[in-house]
Amino acid sequence: MSAAPVAPHPESAERLDLLLTAPAARTGWRVVPARVLAMCIVELQKLRHDRTEIYTRAIQPALWLLIYGETFTRIRAIPTGGIPYLDYLAPGIIAQSAMFISIFYGIMIIWERDSGILTKLLVTPTPRAALVTGKAFAAGVKAVIQVVVVVVIAALLGVSLTWNPLKLLGVVAIVVLGSAFFSCLSMSIAGIVLTRDRLMGIGQAITMPLFFGSNALYPVSAMPGWLQVISKFNPLSYEVDALRGLLIGTPAHLGTDYAVLAFAAALGITAASALLARLAR
C-alpha cells in the first residue's frame, strides 16, 4: 500500500497516510524518560479535567492542622525544640497528605487492571520497569500538586514557611521520591494480593501505622524504644525530616534523607516491576 496523496478536503475519511507507517522505535536509555513523561502528562491532563480529589483530600490535612495543631500548640505537650507546635506539625501533615495520595494512586492500578487500561499498556513497547517508573513519577506529580494546596493552607494558618525557591525545589524532589516509594509499595502489594477488596483493606491498614510510626506528629526522641526502631525503617520519617529542615529550618539530615528516599524509591520500583507481571495474568 503506497501512501495516497493527501486529499485537499479534510472531511475525506481516507486521509490515513500517516497511519500507514510505523513510528521509529526509541531505544536504549531514551525509553524510560519518554514513558515517564507520557505517564506524567496523562496525570496532568486528568487533573486539568477534574481536581475534586485534590480538594477533598485537602480537607483532612486542614483539620489536622486546625484542630490537632492548634490544640497541641496551646498545651505545649510535645517537645519541638522551641518552635511553635503548629510549625513543627505542618511538614508532617504535608508529608502525610503526599503519602496518602500516592498510596491511593498505587491502589488505582488494580482498577486499571480490571478495566483493561493496564492490560493495553502492557502490550505496548514499554518494559515493565519503565511502566512502573512512569506510574511512580506520575504519583509524584499528583502528590506535588496536593502538597502545594496543603502548603497554602499551612501558610494561611500562620505557619512561617520558607519561600526560598531552591529549598522549594528540594521539597519537590523529596516529595517525588517519597511518592515514588509509597505508590510502588501499594503497587507491589497489589501484585501480591491481586484483588481490589483485599488491596483496599490492606491499603487502609498500612497508612495509619506508617503515619503514627513516623516523626510526623512528635519527635523520635519522645517515642518508646520499639517505635524508635520502627521509625528508623520508615521512609516517611526521612521525608518529614527533610521537609522540616527545608520548610521550617529545623536541623535536618538532608544528605541521609535524600539518600534513603532515593534508595527506597529504587527498591520500590524494582519490587513493583517484578510483581507487575502477576497483575497481567
Partner 1 sequence: MTVARSASPDGGGGRREGAHVPISAPETTTDGPSAAEAVSLTGLEYSFGSTKAVDGVDLSVRTGEVFGLLGPNGAGKTTAIRVITTLLPVPAGVVRVFGYDVARQKMNVRRLLGYVPQQLSADASLTGRENVALFARVFDVSRKERAERVVQALEAVGLTEAADRLAGTYSGGMVRRLELAQALVSAPRLLILDEPTIGLDPIARDGVWEHISQVRAATGMTVLVTTHYMDEADQYCDRLALMHKGRIRAHGTPEELKNRLDERRREAGVDHASPVTLEDVFRDVAGSGLDDQGGGEFRDVRRTRRTASRVG
Residues that bind partner 1 (CB under 8 A): 1, 13-27, 34-35, 37-38, 41-42, 45-46, 49-50, 114-117, 119-127, 277, 280-281
Q: How far is the CB of 147 from partner 1 (least distance, A)?
A: 21
Q: How far is the CB of 9 from partner 1 (least distance, A)?
A: 12
Q: Is 65 or 141 the residue whose CB approaches partner 1 more closely?
A: 141
Q: How far is the CB of 203 from partner 1 (least distance, A)?
A: 20
Q: How far is the CB of 184 from partner 1 (least distance, A)?
A: 20
Q: Is 130 or 243 the residue whose CB approaches partner 1 more closely?
A: 130
3-state per-residue secondary structure call for the chain: CCCCCCCCCCCCCCCCHHHHCCCCCCCHHHHHHHHHHHHHHHHHHHHHHCCHHHHHHHHHHHHHHHHHHHHHHHHCCCCCCCCCHHHHHHHHHHHHHHHHHHHHHHHCHHHHHHHCHHHHHHCCCCCHHHHHHHHHHHHHHHHHHHHHHHHHHHHHCCCCCCCCHHHHHHHHHHHHHHHHHHHHHHHHHHHHHCCHHHHHHHHHHHHHHHHHCCCCCCCHHHCCHHHHHHHHCCHHHHHHHHHHHHHCCCCCCHHHHHHHHHHHHHHHHHHHHHHHHHHHC
Q: How far is the CB of 128 from partner 1 (least distance, A)?
A: 10
